[in-house]
Amino acid sequence: MLSYDNLQNANATGPGGNLKTGKYLYGTDFDSLDVSQSGNTCSMNNANVRTINLNGGTSGSSAYSFTCPENTFKEINGAYSPLNDAHFFGNVIFNMYNDWLGTAPLSFQLQMRVHYSSNYENAFWDGSAMTFGDGQNTFYPLVSLDVSAHEVSHGFTEQKAAGYASLNVAISGGSGDADLYLNFDAPSSNTQFVCRPYKNGNTESCTISAPQAGIWHIDVKGYRNASGIKLTINAQ
């Protein structure tokens, strides 16, 4: 029996941003959305990222689909299309890890789960997917690039630390003065950290022998006009 899969890669358009960042258009102001297409249906699914519309629920795994080539669904809590932003930023983050570290951020396709629950003011990594609430009074939908990268990085450090003899994290290059912080199981602070070299300049490193399996938090804080800094993570 012969079968034929007409699933193809395609470029889609649509709005993104929120009332604070301003509205922008993918395919015009930024690159297009990298999606798959079958007939007139586009799905937020490619080799690297799958974006899921939970639509106020708490479970789901199917890629969000829309009529090609534009997705405008949906405006909520001051944002123009969190689904578009999550899918685009997921691909940006994947490419960043590939370019900087020569590896995918996770051992499987990134799953970006959007519109979690109702008025949920947070985002999280649960061991298999990144999940984003729509916010309410404090936050816009939590699909910004920095929040998305933070959640993906939870998965990266969790997967990379487990089973390794050592974990080495280093910063170098750039200008100004930056400080490296490394902490386990909780974000670092000025008083809470496993490693903080506290040196002048931007050359600092932390080495952890037999790192505990779980989530390691890596923070780089600009002490004085820091920019252009390279972050290197090596697990052996």
| The predicted structure's pLDDT at residue 93 | 97
Mean pLDDT of 31-37: 98
Q: Is the pLDDT at 60 greater than 90, yes or no?
A: yes
CA distance 235 to 113: 28
Instruction: Report cis status (omega within 30 of 0) of the bond before 74.
Output: yes
pLDDT at 113: 99
Residue range 123-152, pLDDT digits in tens: 999 999 999 999 999 999 999 999 999 999
Domain 8-160 is of which CATH architecture?
Roll (3.10)
- Whether 90 has a pLDDT exceeding 80, the answer reads yes
Tell me how far apart the alpha carbons of residues 5 and 221 are, in angstroms, rounded to a whole number: 48
**3-state DSSP assignment of residue 193:** coil
Q: Are 158 and 215 in contact (CB under 8 A)?
A: yes
Radius of gyration of the chain measured on its C-alpha atoms: 19
Q: Which conformational region is residue 34 in: left (phi greater than 0), alpha (psi within -120 to 50 degrees), or beta?
A: beta
Pair 69, 11: CB distance under 8 Å: yes
Q: In what order do the strands lie in the sheet with 65-67?
A: 8-12, 33-38, 41-43, 65-67
CA–CA separation, 50 vs 126, rounded Å? 16
C-beta separation of 202 from 229 below 8 A: yes
Q: What is the pLDDT of residue 5?
A: 46
Q: Are the C-beta atoms of residues 14 and 86 closer than 8 Å to each other?
A: no
Q: Which pLDDT band, with edges at 50, 70 and 90, does 33 fall under?
A: very high
Tell me what the mean pLDDT of segment 99-121 comes to: 96
* Contact indicator for 45, 39 with CB cutoff of 8 Å: no
Prediction pTM value = 0.73
Residue 167 has pLDDT above 90, yes or no: no
CATH 1.25.40.80 for the 163-235 domain, yes or no: no
Provide the pLDDT for residue 162: 63
**Does residue 35 contact residue 9 with C-beta atoms inside 8 Å?**
yes
Name which of 70-74, 184-188, 224-228 the model is least confident about.
224-228
Judging by DSSP bridges, how do beta strands 41-43 and 65-67 pair with one another?
A: antiparallel
* Domain locations in the chain as residue ranges: 8-160, 163-235
| Token pair listed for 36 | 């798959």
Note the pLDDT of residue 1: 40
